[in-house]
Structure 1
Amino acid sequence: MQKFYRLSVNIVKILTLLLAVFLFIGSFLTTCYAENMETQQVLLRFDNPLWNLLELAGYGLLFACCLSLSGKAGVKFRRGLLVFTLGLILLLGGMLIVFGRTVPAADALSVYNAAAEWILGNKDIIHPTFSYLSYYPQQIGLMAFLELLLRLWNLTGLSVPAWHFVKLVYVCLLCVAVLFQYRSLRYLWPDDWEPVSCCYLILVCCNLPMILYSSFVYGEIPSFAMLSVGLFLLLKLLADCIPAHSVETTSPDGTRVVATSHALSAVTVFTALGSILFLTLSVMLRKNSLILIIAVLLVLFFETLRPGRSGRACIGLMAMAVCLTITSVGVLPLVQKCYEKKAGNTLSSGVTAMSYFAMGMQESSRGCGWYNGFNIDTYDAAGMNSDAANAISRAAINERIAYFREHPGYAVNFYLHKHLSQWADGTYASRQATLATYGGRSDFLKEVYEGSLASAYIEWGNAWQNVLYLGMLLFCIATVRKRRPGNGSANAAANDDFRFRNLCLYTYTGLIAVLGGFLFHTIWEANSRYIFVYSLLLMPYCAAGVHDGLVRLAAWRSNRTLTRHSNS
C-alpha cells in the first residue's frame, strides 16, 4: 500500500509538471483576447518575451518586498494584508456595482428571469418543451439560489433592480472564498503557510478579472465560494481530524510495521458532513464543479491507502466518498423533482452532452470549438428527443474525426488554437461576460470594456496569468526535485527541498482538478470563461511556488557571496 500511495503521488507530480510547462509556454509566448465586443472573436498574438520577463521581474520585486515586510513586521503585517485584501474586494466590487451597472444577459438572464417568473407564480417555467429549463435543466440549482436571493430582496420593498443586490451578495461570497482559501494554506503547507499566505494575498489583490466577475450574475462566484469552504473542511479533516500519525516499529523477523490508533470524534463527523454539504452545493450552483468533485473522490480513495491510517479512519473516508458521490450526483435531480412537484409538470432531459462534444470539434465565429449553436439546433431538429440528438451528434463527431485524419496539420492547429483561446486569455472573457448594461456605466469603465483602456486591461491580465503559471511551474518543479544531502552551504535548506519533500496526495487536490479540467475542456465546448475557476484554484500553488523560488534565489545569492568572500 505504501508503494502504491507513493506511486500515485509521483504520477500526480509528473502529470501536473507537464501541464504547468504546457500552460506557461502557451501563456508566455502568446495572448488570446477579444477586441470587438459585438463579434467577440478570439484573436491570437505573439508576445514579446523581453517585455514579459520585465513584467515577471516587477511582480517578483513586489513579492520580495511583501515578504521582506512580513519578515520584519511579523503577524501584524499578514493580518493587515488580509484585511486590506478583503477591504479592496469589497470596495472595488461595490464600485463596480455602482459605476459598472452590469446586468444579466444570455444564459444568466434566462436563469434570473426564470427565478423571477417563478416567484410571480408562473408555473410554466417548469415545462417539458417550451421553457428555458426544458433545454438546460442543469440550471435548476442556480435558479433555486437566485429565487432565495430575490425573495429576500422583495422583503425590503425597494424598487431598485434585484440584480444589484445579487451582485452585492456575490462580492461578499468572493470575500468568503478568498478567506477560506487563505485559511486552507495552513493545511496545505503547515511549515511555510505564513509567508506563502502573503504571496497569495498579493495575487488576489492583482486579480482584476476576479473583481470583474463579482458582477457576473451566474454560477461561478457562489459555486467557487462553496468549493472553497468545502475544500477547507476537507483539508482540515485529513490534516487535523484523521491524520495518518504513524508509529513505525520493527517486528522480530525484521519487518517494519506501521501502526496507529485514532478515534473518530464528533468534530471529525461534523467536519466531514460540512465538507460534503458545501461541495454538494457547489455542484448545485454549477454542474461543472463535478470535475473538482471527481478530484476529491480520487483523493479520498487514495488517502484510505495511505500508510498509517487506522481501519476506522479508512472506513470513514470511504463512507464520506460514497456520501459525496450520492449527494453530488443527486442534488440537481432532487431540486428538479421538488420544482416539478410544485408545478405539477415535468422538464425534458435537456440538450445532450454528446452535442457539446460535437460542437467542441467544430469551427465557430468566435474561435475553434466555441459555441456555434450546434447543441441547441440539434436538440430542436431532433424534436427534443435525446436519442435522436445523440445520433446526430455522433454522426457529426465521426465526420470531424474523419476530416482530422485526412488533415492532421489542420487538426493540430485546431486544437492548439482551441487550447490557447481558453488557457492563454488572461482576462478569462470577463469583459464579454459582464458587458451587458442598461445604461449608466461610467466613462472610465466604458474605456475598459471597449475603449482605450481595453488593451491595458488585457496586458494586465496577461502579466498576471504569466505569474500564475510560472508560480505553478516553480511549485511543480520543486515537488519533483530529488532530495540532496545538505553540505553546510547557505543553500543547503533549499537543496533539501524541505518544503515539498513529503507532501500528501490531498495537497494536490486543486491541481488534480485543474488537470481534469484541462482534459475535459479540450474536448468540451470551448470558452475562456470556463477556465476562470481553475485560475482561482491555482493561486495557492502559485503562491507556494513563488515563495519557494524567492527562497532559492536568496539562498543562491547568499552562496555566491560566501564563495566570493572565501576566494578573496
Structure 2
Amino acid sequence: MSKIYNSSKLLLYLWSVLLLSLLTLSSIFYRTILLMDGSEFAYIHRNSFVFIGLLILAVIIFFILLWFIIRLPSKVIFLLGTIFYLVLGIYLIMHQNDILRHDALEVYKSAKNLNQFNYSSLKQLVGYLYKYPHQIGLVSLERLLLILLGSENVKGLFIINLILSICDNFLLYRITDLVFKNSQVSKLSMVMAFLFLPHIFFILFVYGINYGLFLILLSLFFLIKFINDKKWVNFAGTLIPLILAVVIRSNYIIMAITIFIILILDFLRTKSWKNILLSILPFIIVSLLNGILVNSYEQASKVKQIDGEPKIAWIAMGLDDNPTYNRLPGWYDAYVENVYTKYNGNEDGITNDSKKLIAKRLETFSKNPRYTFNFFKKKYISTWTDSLFQSIWSGPNSSMPVEGQSVNGKLMSSIYHGGIAYKVLYYYASVILIIIYGGAMVSMLISIRNVKASNLFILVFTIYLTGGVLFHLIWETKSQYVYPYVYLLLPLTAYGLHSIYNVLPNKISKYLKKSSAV
C-alpha cells in the first residue's frame, strides 16, 4: 500500500510540474483579451520580445513591492485588503443600474417568478429551467435570498458576493496556514488573494460561482483537519459544504472528484474506513438531492418530466468549430439552443445529432493532426491566458442594449467601456497571472525534491486544476469558468514566492562569495 501511495504521489507531482510549466510559458508568450463590445470574441496575441521584457521587469518590481508588504502583520494586511475590497466593491455596486444579463438574468427571473408561484420557467420545451434543470439548485438558493433581501434587490445579491469574496480570502489564508504552517507563506497567500482582481470584479456576476467557491473553500478547510485527525466534526464540515456547492453549481463536481482522489490516496496511507465513506457520500447525496429538487418542481408546476438538454450537446459544441458570432473554436456558438429547437426538445433526437457531430469532429481531428493541434491550442490558450477571466466582461456591458445595462462615472465608464482603466487593469492582471502560474510551478519543483515528506493536501490544487483543463478542452469553454481553478492555486503560489525570496538570495550570496574567492 505504501509503495502504491508513494508512486502515485510522485506521478501526480511530476504531472503537476509539467502542467504548471505549460501554463507559465503560455502566459509569458501569449495573452488573450476580450473587448468590451459584447461579442465574446477572444483575441489571442503572441507577445513580442519587447512585451515579454517589460512583463519580466514588471514582475521584478512587483516582487520588490511584495517583499515590503509582507513585513506587515497578518491582521494589518487583512484589514487593508478588506478596506480595499469594500471601497472598490461598493464603488462598482453603486455605479451600475442593477440589471443582469443572459443566464444570470434568467436565473434571477426564474427565482423571482417561482417565489410568486409563476411557473413559466418550467413550461414544457420553452421554459428556462425545463431546458436547463442543472440550474435548479442555484435558482432554489436565489429564491431563498430574494425572500430575505426582497424580490427586486439585485444590489443585495452583489453585496453578498462582495462579503463572500472577502471571506474567501480569509479562508484561503487559513487553508494556506494549515497546509504550510508558515506565517510568511500565509501572508503571501492573503496578499495575492486581495491582488487577484478578477475575484472582486466577479461580484457583479450573479451566477453561483461565488457561492460555490466559498463553500468549496469551507469544505477544503475542514478536509485538511479531517486528513490529520479523522474527527466526525471535520467529516461533516467537509461533506456538507461540498454537497451544497455541487448542487448550486454542478461544475464543482470536479472538486468532489478531486477530494475523492485525495481521500483514496490518504486511505492507502492510513487505511481509515472514514476516508472511503467521505469519498463516496457526496456523489450519492448530490444525486439524491438533485432528484428530490427536480421532483418537487415537477410536482409544483404539474410538469410530467423535466428532461432538460442532454449533456452530450455541450461536448458536441465544445468540439465544434462553427464560426457563429466570430468566436474561437470550442467557445459558445449556440449549438445547444439550435439543436434543442431543431428537435423540439426531444432527448433522443438531440443526443443522436450530438453524437453525429462528435463523430464527424473526431474524424476531422484524426485526419488533420496539424488542424487538431491548432484547434486545442487555441481553445486552451484562449481559456487560460485571459488575465481578467472575463470578470469585467461579465459585469454591466452597455454594448448589449437588449438587457439595458449601463454604468455611470468616469472611472466606471473607462473600466466597462474598454478605456484606459480597462487596459491598465488588463496588463496589471497579466503580470499577476504570470506570477500565479510561475510561483505555483516553483512550489511544486521544490516540493518534488522530498515527495515522501511533503503534504499530500497540496495536490488538491493541482488535481483540481487538471480536472479543469481536461474538462474545458472537451466541454464548451469560457475563461470566466476557470477563474476558481486559478484562484485556488494561490497557496502554491505563496509557497513558491516564499521559496524564491529565501532560496534565491542565498544562491546569489554563495555565487558572489565563490567569485570573490577566485
TM-score (norm 1): 0.85
Worse-matched range after superposition: 278-287 or 172-181: 172-181
User: Is residue 219 of structure 2 the alignment partner of residue 230 of structure 1?
Assistant: yes
1:218 is aligned to: 207
1:198 is aligned to: 187
1:93 is aligned to: 89
2:145 is aligned to: 149
Secondary structure in structure 1 of the residue aligned to 2:35: coil
Moved runs in structure 1, 4+ residues, more than 4 A?
none
In 1: Cα distance, 2:289 partner to 2:273 partner: 24
2:498 is aligned to: 547
Equivalent of 1:396, from 357, 360, 363?
Answer: 357
Give the conservation status (yes or no) of the 8 Å contact 1:355–1:393. Answer: yes
Q: 1:473 to 1:410 in 2, by over 3 A?
A: same
Secondary structure in structure 1 of the residue aligned to 2:420: coil
Per-residue deviation, residues 28-65 of structure 1 (Å, max 9, x unmatched): 10101022523221111122221111121122112222
1:377 is aligned to: 338
2:19 is aligned to: 19
Per-residue deviation, residues 176-211 of structure 1 (Å, max 9, x unmatched): 221111111122112x2x101111122122211111
1:145: Cα distance to partner? Answer: 0.9
Alignment RMSD (CA, Å): 1.8
Equivalent of 2:179, from 178, 181, 188?
Answer: 188
1:131 is aligned to: 127
How many residue pairs get aligned? The number is 505
1:120 is aligned to: 116
1:302 is aligned to: 265
Q: 1:429 to 1:440 in 2, by over 3 A?
A: closer
Equivalent of 1:207, from 171, 196, 199?
Answer: 196
User: Is residue 372 of structure 2 the alignment partner of residue 414 of structure 1?
Assistant: no
In 1: Cα distance, 2:175 partner to 2:447 partner: 19
In 1: Cα distance, 2:259 partner to 2:498 partner: 26
In 1: Cα distance, 2:506 partner to 2:295 partner: 60
1:488 is aligned to: none
Give the conservation status (yes or no) of the 8 Å contact 1:223–1:283. Answer: yes
Q: Between Structure 1 and Structure 2, whose CA radius of gyration is higher?
A: 1
In 1: Cα distance, 2:267 partner to 2:65 partner: 41
User: Is residue 251 of structure 2 the alignment partner of residue 284 of structure 1?
Assistant: no
Give the conservation status (yes or no) of the 8 Å contact 1:128–1:346. Answer: no
1:273: Cα distance to partner? Answer: 1.0
Q: 1:216 to 1:296 in 2, by over 3 A?
A: same
Give the conservation status (yes or no) of the 8 Å contact 1:133–1:347. Answer: no
Amino acid at match of 2:155: H
Per-residue deviation, residues 69-123 of structure 1 (Å, max 9, x unmatched): 25xxxxxx11211222223222221221012445311000000000000111213
Q: 1:64 to 1:411 in 2, by over 3 A?
A: same
In 2: Cα distance, 1:504 partner to 1:78 partner: 23
In 1: Cα distance, 2:208 partner to 2:91 partner: 21
In 1: Cα distance, 2:372 partner to 2:45 partner: 20
Gaps of 5+ in 2: 398-403
In 1: Cα distance, 2:249 partner to 2:390 partner: 18
Gaps of 5+ in 1: 71-76, 156-160, 243-267, 484-499
- Summarize the alignment of residues 161-560 of structure 1 with structure 2, pairs less than 5 Å apart: 161-190=152-181, 192=182, 194-239=183-228, 241-242=229-230, 268-306=231-269, 309=270, 314-363=272-321, 364=323, 365-436=326-397, 438-450=405-417, 451-481=419-449, 502-560=453-511
1:519: Cα distance to partner? Answer: 0.7
In 2: Cα distance, 1:477 partner to 1:85 partner: 30
Give the conservation status (yes or no) of the 8 Å contact 1:100–1:442. Answer: no
1:490 is aligned to: none
1:358: Cα distance to partner? Answer: 1.1
Q: 1:463 to 1:102 in 2, by over 3 A?
A: farther
1:333: Cα distance to partner? Answer: 2.4
1:318: Cα distance to partner? Answer: 1.1
Amino acid at match of 1:296: I
In 2: Cα distance, 1:348 partner to 1:418 partner: 32
In 1: Cα distance, 2:79 partner to 2:287 partner: 37
Secondary structure in structure 2 of the residue aligned to 1:305: helix
In 2: Cα distance, 1:456 partner to 1:527 partner: 22
Per-residue deviation, residues 408-434 of structure 1 (Å, max 9, x unmatched): 222211111111110010010112211
In 2: Cα distance, 1:139 partner to 1:426 partner: 27
Q: 1:322 to 1:472 in 2, by over 3 A?
A: same
